[in-house]
Structure 1
Amino acid sequence: MKVITKYLSLAALMLACTGSVSAQETTAKFPLIPYPAQLTAGEGSFTITAKTSIVTSNAFNTEAYALKDLLRKGLGKPIEVSKVKKAHAINLVYDASITTPEAYRMSVTKEQVVIRAKDPAGVFHAVETIRQLLPVGVEAGVVQKQLSLPVVAIEDAPVYEWRGMHLDVSRHFFSVSYLKKFIDRMALYKMNKLHLHLTDDQGWRIEIKKYPLLTQAGAWRTFNNQDSACIKKAKDNPDFVIDKEHIIQKDGKTLYGGFYTQDEMKGVVAYAAARHIDIVPEIDMPGHMMAAINSYPFLTCDGENKWGELFTKPICPCNETTFEFAENVFTEIMQIFPSKYIHIGGDEVDRTNWGKSEACKALMAKEGIKDLAGLHSYFINRMEKFFNSKGRKLIGWDEVIEGGISPTAIIMYWRTWVPDAPVKAVKNGNTVIMTPGEPLYFDNQPDQYSVSRVYHFNPVPKVLNAEEAKSIIGAQANLWSEMIPSEKRADYMYMPRMTALSEMLWTHQESEYDSYLQRLTEQYKRMDALKINYRLPDLPNLLNQYVFTKEGKLSITSPLPGLTIRYTTDGTLPDTKSPVLPSPLTISKSELVRVAAFTPTGTRGDVYNLNYTQQQMLGPVKIAPPKPGLTATYYKAFFKKTALMQNAKVDSTFSTDKIEVPATVKAPSFGITYKGYIDVPTDGIYSFYLTCDDGGVLYIGDKTVVDNDGNHSAQERSGQVALKMGAHPFKLDFIEGGGGFKLLLKYSVNGSAPQDVPASWFKN
């Protein structure tokens, strides 16, 4: 970890004179996210009033006025910014000895505040630290006669230089005002890269003056299947209501869309730059170009614009008119975005038509290109040379390495099912940014483990040595918006996960997770003041399916102070008028209990559907002679549901005593059935927790215990079954549709802590 320690002993000595502060008190007093690299707490405070001054040099003028604006919200009046040294002031000091970019030192005593940095970004991060130390009312403009900062010495610097968030504005569109909110929240948590996905099949979102149809036509669409899915979900969840400001009536049609003018986007870029956030534009080529091809069909090899087996037809890399178009588009993009990074996408390309094109056959023969993957790389490499000629660096999704890529391109890794892709890129000399789908695709539905998975993610693959690890410059979370039709839904999907990401990239201290959770609890108050529609913490220890023999008991501990848990048993959604859940709720018949937490303002958290079934204990069966392990049947095919394996051709069988996918399985899509018996040692209510990517269903005896079926990202589902001691028929069906597979089964009995199922329990 990169930290600055030159003046730490002096600061510590200064604060030691004021008294000692326990670690627990420090966490409560300094609920900072990300937590500083080094923090030494003291006693007392520095008082800020309208008479306090900010003293700065010209080097930090912008940051001084950012601090002035912040303090004006809390004091109700501006304070002076001065170039002249003042008593009882906040001093912004240039310090050439600080060599790490974005680093700062901050000393708060009762008499003054001194912020030292070499670059403006470091000063700005110190301002954001001050922001988090001020009362949360500052965010809402609550005025006080004076503000105070606790006495403290901080030495701080980021571990990773790329601390990013991605926002897809193509599938669903987001307003300029929301982009600015998004940027403000990133700045609060010291994130520094905003990757804007501006174009895709579903919409072109940035004005290109040379090709006006890109936005006149390409920015609008009739409702598609993603919109329809959101409209269906909106019946139960208002976060899925499509933002009406992006819906228009034109020529008798209802159209969805929108775009940013160049002037609007230049304003957003300037807004971000003032907060030391670099906006990286993505114009996706050669695939995902349907919105452009609709108006400019000359871009394809054959004039067709339609969906292939998986993806839309790409633009043609064998015609000079394609490169003329691409260079014209990116020339205007570079005039809007000063970032040295330009993202070209390059992912999910259906190359079928290229293989049929006479122009492509001729080009491949002329250039010595062996295959279509090489032709793909020809396009990317040629565009990189164009970018480089303009002083820019090309970023591409990790598919671009498949046909060969220059070592100067930057690779953004996302395909968790190709774990060696970032390693190959590093070995090739490329710089790599980590954005794996698990856990950094924030459009994946969050669950009780999501924040922990993000916090504990290590961007550096274990197989890289220390020197190679330097090529991993950071990570970002991606927010794809197919199922995110509103600003409220976007808030819910990335908060609070972004706070875990920020600390992982800035501080990178896995051992501080418990401290982080305590600090996060305090941060929720700031999010409330900022009107962020964050996801409330999960209600703890709940299952999807419950069984009981005589009666069931439901008790839920609130995960946050001030939350009220309400419930229904008539199938309706809980609302603010639903009864408060007693402790415990007694259940005496099979029924659905729906519960949700509510904030004091009436905001509802996730609705939990708890299915209770009255069940007699299943008796054991006799198996003789028992053999250890289960029989696993392997199907090498694609399945949308586990039931489709019943009539599929068997590829092979094997024995196993573990519920896991063996390392020998290499197919991108497959299914496995694990079958035999589970021999439990005691009577009881057994809970099972099944995590699948993609789908799985667990059967014990004649009961479906856990249904986690279908193609989806890694998610846990749970259920119960009442079992008498002994052996019971066991079957687990698992399918992988293509991607980063995951399979995990845990159990508990009579309310014990979840743990792995012992291998000795499996028989056949």
Structure 2
Amino acid sequence: MKNKIVALLIAIVVSTGFKVIAQQVDSKYNIIPYPTSLVSGQGRFVITPATNIVYPNGGKFINEANRLNEFFANGFGKPLKLSTTSKDHAIQLKYDAGISADEGYRLVITTHQITIAARTPAGMFMAIQTIRQLLPVNVEYSNIKTIKNLTLPVVIINDEPAYEWRGMHLDVSRHFLSITYLRKFINVMALYKMNKLHLHLTDDQGWRIEIKKYPKLTEEGAWRTFNNQDSACMKKAVDNPDFNIDEQHVIHKNGKTLYGGFYTQQQMKALVAYAAERHIDIIPEIDMPGHMMAAINAYPFLTCNGENKWGTLFTKPICPCNESTFEFAENVFTEIMNIFPSKYIHIGGDEVDRSDWAKSEACKELMKREGIKDLPALQSYFINRMEKFFNSKGRKLIGWDEIIEGGISNTAIVMYWRGWVPDAPLKAARNGNKVIMTPGSPLYFDNQPDQNSIYNVYHFNPVPAGLAPTEAKLIIGAQANIWTENIPSENRADYMFMPRMTALAELLWTNNVNDYNSYVNRLTDQFKRLDVLNVHYRLPDLPGMITQNVFTELDTLSIVKPMQGMQIRYTTDGTLPGKNSEELTGKLIINKSERIRLAAFTSAGARGDVYDLNYQQQSLAAPVEVNNTQPGLKCSYYKAFFKETKFISKANADSTFISDVIAVPQTVKAPSFAITYSGYIDVPADGVYSFYLTCDDGGVLKIADRETVNNDGLHSAIEKNGQVALKKGLQKFKLDFIEGGGGYTLKLKYSKDGSAPADLPSSWFRN
């Protein structure tokens, strides 16, 4: 009877094109991204070595049939038979002109048949990735012992993506990544239905793609002696081997140790084909007119004055006022277009030091002749001229959001990254430009992750507030960027993008932010597949970790493990915890001031983040006696750049104001600044209070004249925490915050006795 009901339901769904927009996620299906619509049935379809894969006559979907068959070949030791003739108890790949979405598909699994319907090969491939996740993880590799059968659950899935651009970006210039790694990266992207790989191929630190007309770009520009980014990584490698410089990219030449590498055109064409088989478009970026030091070193004629050096903030750019520059650029991009068939070409266009252009006689003449009013418009002249060249070759130009500053055509595509310029995507959309959202927070995956990173990605809204519905349609998707200044190894790259990418994948495909708990549960199951795929992902955060702990008499350390089979190991002598260190199996009683270092380990020996837990015995701080206080905190505002909060005391405030919230005021417009919050908090009860300070860039919190949280320095938005023992009453409060430019993030929460972190009530603040 049940099978008849399921069969009837399937018939209804197939005949009506039924699709559920919002649904309850079924915990049985650990699929990421979760399908648009999933209707669960009873029973399973059994796949054996005798099962056929049937695809349409004419060869449509043959590539997709082969991709699916790779998993069965791994499981059974040999591929299934491919056929164009309908079979009973088979896997049928069918063309369906009624499926409107380019990447949409319908998957119907009964106990007797699997039917996969799509209009395009891309849609068929997306369906296969869903099947891939429904199969056991051991189909990801060739088995020594073959499997007798595989099963798939009875289910009906109607699915399509919310956004057309679901991208990942890799910077291979600062630190180089091998072709082998790029293939692995593409394979993992495909698993989660991501479809755009943006390769940042050139920058000041290295030119990574062979250009035959200009051989010195790779002969010289692909290699460098170790720089300050390398040395910073080497220091971190003392505690974490993932920061070791990858030896496969180090050579010794003419008595020098050189770091680098490049891709030949043949290698890259093969990679493009590999990605295309998985319906991933590789978008090349040749960054200009700025970030061109590696090229200018090889060909000095590219500048206005022959100089190649760092300016105030950025390196000197190529000169947009000489025809030889355009000849070079067009020759380079012509070869790039012969390698990459993508209709999109990224020109960069960001962070340009234009000061030398202002001094150039050639630029002065050009600006006068062309009616160019200022230097941003001169940069736009370069970008617009290159776009016309791209268009003449049938390609579309993408640039970072700086390209809108001097005016651009509405046919260019804008990639928004500068979170501190919130109106940039609005201006672009209102100009008619398509926009790809890549803001640094939360989509710069080179930013150090913390316990909030995945949540922040999952809950990111790609559509900026303030856009009309017609303008919002120009937001075509989003992309996570991985800049590799501090990512010198493939293991470190894995750690930085996984599992954050899975949150982005679900956001951009399903666009459903109401099932975060379900997503987290499904993610835990995905780790098994990532283990098989040799992805060195970041292990889940250990819950409730406080860096600076205080206690009055004693404290207890106990940890709820976020994954089965995880072991927590620790040391008390300052050494790094290893897989042979003492295991924390229950509760650890703390009755003296000490430092505990701990980390989680998987059964395979992978180590998670190392937590440095400092315990300090404190007495409850006595309250202060103050008369005639007023509501709010006194704030001092400094319009200057500070590397650390300690330098604020040497400066004079530009203005003061009173605030009853801890947040960067909307009125603050300076690119770099500092704010100090001072006064008192009215503590409601005796106890040990925990504080959680999130800063981009840095901040230091002191309560009762005790340093409670130190989150100082220039860095991305990250949370740090600490505790302080307080008596009821007024307690001194001081928070120093610095913003180096770009983040504008400041949050402060508190908790007591294990409660969930919450905002400090404004009623606590007094001055």
TM-score, length basis structure 1? 0.97
Deviation at 1:242, TM superposition (A): 1.5
1:619, 1:338 → 2: CA distance?
A: 70
SS of match in other structure, 1:332: helix
Counterpart amino acid of 2:122? A
- CA deviations over 1:358-401 (Å, ceiling 9, x no partner): 00000000000010000000000000000000000000000000
Deviation at 1:12, TM superposition (A): 7.5
- CA deviations over 1:654-708 (Å, ceiling 9, x no partner): 1111111211111111111111111101100011111111111011122100101
Aligned to 2:369: 366
Deviation at 1:412, TM superposition (A): 0.2
Please tell me whether residue 51 in structure 1 is matched to residue 88 in structure 2.
no
The equivalences for 1:14-413 within 5 A come to 27-57=26-56, 58-142=59-143, 143-413=146-416
Counterpart amino acid of 1:491? D
Counterpart amino acid of 2:705? D
2:665, 2:178 → 1: CA distance?
A: 47
- CA deviations over 1:158-194 (Å, ceiling 9, x no partner): 0000000000000000111111000000000000000
Aligned to 2:18: none
Please tell me whether residue 728 in structure 1 is matched to residue 726 in structure 2.
no
SS of match in other structure, 1:688: strand
SS of match in other structure, 1:631: strand
Aligned to 1:630: 633
1:8, 1:520 → 2: CA distance?
A: 31
SS of match in other structure, 1:535: coil
Counterpart amino acid of 1:113? I
Counterpart amino acid of 1:377? S
Deviation at 1:69, TM superposition (A): 1.4
SS of match in other structure, 1:285: coil
SS of match in other structure, 2:91: strand
Picking from 578, 590, 613, the partner of 1:610 is 613
After superposition, the Cα gap between the structure-2 partners of 1:540 and 1:409, relative to the gap in structure 1 and judged at 3 Å, is same
How many residue pairs were aligned?
Answer: 751
SS of match in other structure, 1:522: helix
Could you list the runs of 4 or more consecutive aligned residues of structure 1 that deviate by over 3 angstroms after TM superposition?
7-10, 12-15, 23-28
- CA deviations over 1:253-297 (Å, ceiling 9, x no partner): 111000000000000000000000000000000000000000100
1:616, 1:183 → 2: CA distance?
A: 55
Aligned to 2:3: none
Aligned to 1:573: 576
Counterpart amino acid of 1:119? T
Counterpart amino acid of 1:93? K
- CA deviations over 1:686-743 (Å, ceiling 9, x no partner): 1111111111101112210010111111111111000011111111101111112111
Counterpart amino acid of 1:54? I
The equivalences for 1:662-673 within 5 A come to 662-673=665-676
Deviation at 1:36, TM superposition (A): 0.5
The equivalences for 1:706-717 within 5 A come to 706-717=709-720
- CA deviations over 1:187-210 (Å, ceiling 9, x no partner): 000000000000000000000000
Counterpart amino acid of 2:67? A
1:597, 1:27 → 2: CA distance?
A: 30
Please tell me whether residue 645 in structure 1 is matched to residue 648 in structure 2.
yes
2:9, 2:381 → 1: CA distance?
A: 57
SS of match in other structure, 2:514: helix
SS of match in other structure, 1:294: helix
Aligned to 1:758: 761
Task: Give the conservation status (yes or no) of the 8 Å contact 2:7–2:110.
Answer: no
Identity, in percent, stands at: 68
Counterpart amino acid of 1:40? V
SS of match in other structure, 1:575: coil
SS of match in other structure, 2:174: coil
2:332, 2:672 → 1: CA distance?
A: 38
Please tell me whether residue 484 in structure 1 is matched to residue 487 in structure 2.
yes
The equivalences for 1:651-690 within 5 A come to 651-690=654-693
After superposition, the Cα gap between the structure-2 partners of 1:229 and 1:688, relative to the gap in structure 1 and judged at 3 Å, is same
After superposition, the Cα gap between the structure-2 partners of 1:484 and 1:12, relative to the gap in structure 1 and judged at 3 Å, is farther
SS of match in other structure, 1:619: coil
SS of match in other structure, 1:605: coil
Deviation at 1:8, TM superposition (A): 12
2:750, 2:224 → 1: CA distance?
A: 48
1:702, 1:67 → 2: CA distance?
A: 64
SS of match in other structure, 1:511: coil
SS of match in other structure, 1:751: coil
After superposition, the Cα gap between the structure-2 partners of 1:26 and 1:638, relative to the gap in structure 1 and judged at 3 Å, is closer
2:528, 2:172 → 1: CA distance?
A: 28
1:438, 1:754 → 2: CA distance?
A: 21
Aligned to 2:470: 467
Aligned to 2:531: 528
For the aligned residues, what is the CA RMSD? Answer: 1.5
SS of match in other structure, 2:755: coil
SS of match in other structure, 2:238: coil
Counterpart amino acid of 2:547? N
SS of match in other structure, 1:59: coil
Deviation at 1:10, TM superposition (A): 4.9
Please tell me whether residue 704 in structure 1 is matched to residue 707 in structure 2.
yes
Counterpart amino acid of 1:84? T
After superposition, the Cα gap between the structure-2 partners of 1:723 and 1:562, relative to the gap in structure 1 and judged at 3 Å, is same
Aligned to 2:19: none
1:596, 1:119 → 2: CA distance?
A: 47
Aligned to 1:11: 10
- CA deviations over 1:615-639 (Å, ceiling 9, x no partner): 1111011000221111111111110
Counterpart amino acid of 2:229? Q
Deviation at 1:79, TM superposition (A): 1.1
The equivalences for 1:503-522 within 5 A come to 503-522=506-525
Please tell me whether residue 552 in structure 1 is matched to residue 550 in structure 2.
no
1:25, 1:735 → 2: CA distance?
A: 44
After superposition, the Cα gap between the structure-2 partners of 1:398 and 1:9, relative to the gap in structure 1 and judged at 3 Å, is farther
Deviation at 1:140, TM superposition (A): 2.9
SS of match in other structure, 2:377: helix
1:27, 1:91 → 2: CA distance?
A: 25
Counterpart amino acid of 1:52? T
Deviation at 1:513, TM superposition (A): 1.0
Task: Give the conservation status (yes or no) of the 8 Å contact 1:8–1:155.
Answer: no
Task: Give the conservation status (yes or no) of the 8 Å contact 2:25–2:515.
Answer: no
SS of match in other structure, 1:284: coil
TM-score, length basis structure 2? 0.97
After superposition, the Cα gap between the structure-2 partners of 1:165 and 1:119, relative to the gap in structure 1 and judged at 3 Å, is same
SS of match in other structure, 2:582: coil
Task: Give the conservation status (yes or no) of the 8 Å contact 1:634–1:671.
Answer: yes
Picking from 502, 505, 510, the partner of 1:502 is 505
Deviation at 1:751, TM superposition (A): 2.1
Structure 1 stretch displaced more, 63-72 or 23-32? 23-32
Structure 1: unaligned runs, 5 residues or longer: 1-6, 16-22
Aligned to 1:588: 591
Aligned to 1:18: none
Deviation at 1:24, TM superposition (A): 12
Structure 2: unaligned runs, 5 residues or longer: 1-5, 15-21
After superposition, the Cα gap between the structure-2 partners of 1:542 and 1:340, relative to the gap in structure 1 and judged at 3 Å, is same
